[in-house]
Amino acid sequence: MGTQQQNLTPAESTTGSVSLQVCAVIDETADARSLVLDIPPSLRERFRYKPGQFLSFRVPFAGKLLTRCYSMASSPLADALPKVTVKRVDGGRVSNWMNEVRVGDWLEVLPPAGLFCLDPQADTEKPLVLFGGGSGITPVFSILKSVLHSSRRPIKLIYANRDEASVIFKDELCRLIKAHPDQLHVVHVLDSVQGFLTDHQVRHLLRGSAGGDYFICGPGPFMDTVERTLLALGEAAERIHVERFVSPPDPDELLAEEALARKAAMGSHCEALIVELDGQQHEIACQPGDTLLQSCKAAGLDVPSSCEEGFCGACMCVVKEGEVQLARNDVLSAKELADGWTLACQSRPTGARVRLKFPD
């Protein structure tokens, strides 16, 4: 269960997380629960989030501090407080722990992160097509509610589940369909009825939605099927957004990997580390063995970061000049790597001059 605390003042831990109190627990299905977090006034700006982003939680388990990311199913436009939804996984240490949390418990939480977000400049005349598989519904549901709240953009949600009893947010979805009958179209795909989603089914479901923006989150095979079919139909890769989460190694394994990567980089000396951040350019020092993120923080730069373990993608940046060595990557695709993206928390410079650019 969550850690009970008497002190109601949120305090930042040595891991960079903040203590937040659970103010509501919602049983969504037999194996999924939503946790609503209270955000005190002093932290509201820090925990301001975009639709589609996630929170990272530090959870004590068997003497270790495990980190897991859970997308927010709430909308910053339509909901007063952030809500994450956690589905139990067989043998899942953290998912089972989180499903025992009660109202009043305190959780260690890192600020919002993630790039699975709709471009605010997106053409609202084009269709928005959302694919959610199982608990992968959470970030697309946040996007869905936000778009319904802010525009008349047509939305199609294709929602795959094991069976009807597994449908998370079923009642809330019904209310939204009734409130927005001309804007929102929802298609349920149940494994127990139609079987697993196939390329042929995706093609059929996409009729009338060409040229839209596509957001996909769910089990790996589900996301691969949808992405593969979209590309085969000629949809632009830059309009296809896929959210993939992996569970990181335990802390002792991460420390061992960190030590090896640091040792391997000790022979490299970076004379000029140039960082482009929020439209400004900074030239900072870089100590041998330090990651790009460690160098930025040492220089006082407030660069985006969250888990600092290479699996959340919050610290993604582009290497514009020079070379870096990426120690661990559970986030970036082959195309993103080819385009120069790296993870600041896992990369170390290997040349005398390196230039980085963080997303605006």
Mean per-residue pLDDT, 286-313? 88
pLDDT of residue 138: 97
What would you report as the CA-atom Rg of the chain, rounded to the nearest whole angstrom? Answer: 21
- Pick 255 or 319 by higher pLDDT: 319
Instruction: Tell whether the torsion through CA atoms of 148, 150, 156 and 159 is positive or negative.
Output: negative
DSSP E strand boundaries for the chain: 18-29, 32-38, 54-61, 64-71, 83-87, 106-113, 128-133, 155-161, 184-190, 213-217, 240-243, 272-277, 280-284, 316-321, 324-326, 341-343, 347-349, 353-357
Q: Which whole number is the average pLDDT over 299-323?
A: 88
pTM of the shown model? 0.84
For 149, half-sphere exposure in the C-beta direction (CA atoms, 13 angstrom radius) is 13
Q: Express each pLDDT in 220-244 by its tens digit.
A: 999 999 999 999 999 999 999 999 8
Beta-ladder partners of 32: 29, 87
Q: Does the structure show a pLDDT above 50 at 292?
A: yes
Band (pLDDT 50/70/90 cuts) for residue 4 is very low
- Domains of the chain by range and CATH? 18-113 (2.40.30.10), 128-243 (3.40.50.80), 251-357 (3.10.20.30)
pLDDT at 61: 85
| Confidence label for 324 from pLDDT (cuts 50, 70 and 90) | very high
The predicted structure's pLDDT at residue 2:
39
**What pLDDT is recorded for position 7?**
37
Question: Is pLDDT above 90 for 333?
Answer: no
Residue 8 has pLDDT above 60, yes or no: no
What are the pLDDT digits (tens) for 24-80? 999 999 999 999 999 999 999 999 999 999 999 999 888 888 888 899 999 999 999
Whether the per-residue pLDDT at 14 is higher than 70: the answer is: no
At residue 253, the pLDDT reads: 65
Residue 271 has a pLDDT of 83
- Whether the predicted pLDDT of 125 surpasses 80: yes
Q: Which two tokens stand for residue 291?
A: 């990651």
The predicted model gives 306-312 an average pLDDT of 79
Instruction: Determine the pLDDT at residue 5.
Output: 37
Give the mean pLDDT of 278-307: 91
| Residue 162 pLDDT exceeds 60 | yes
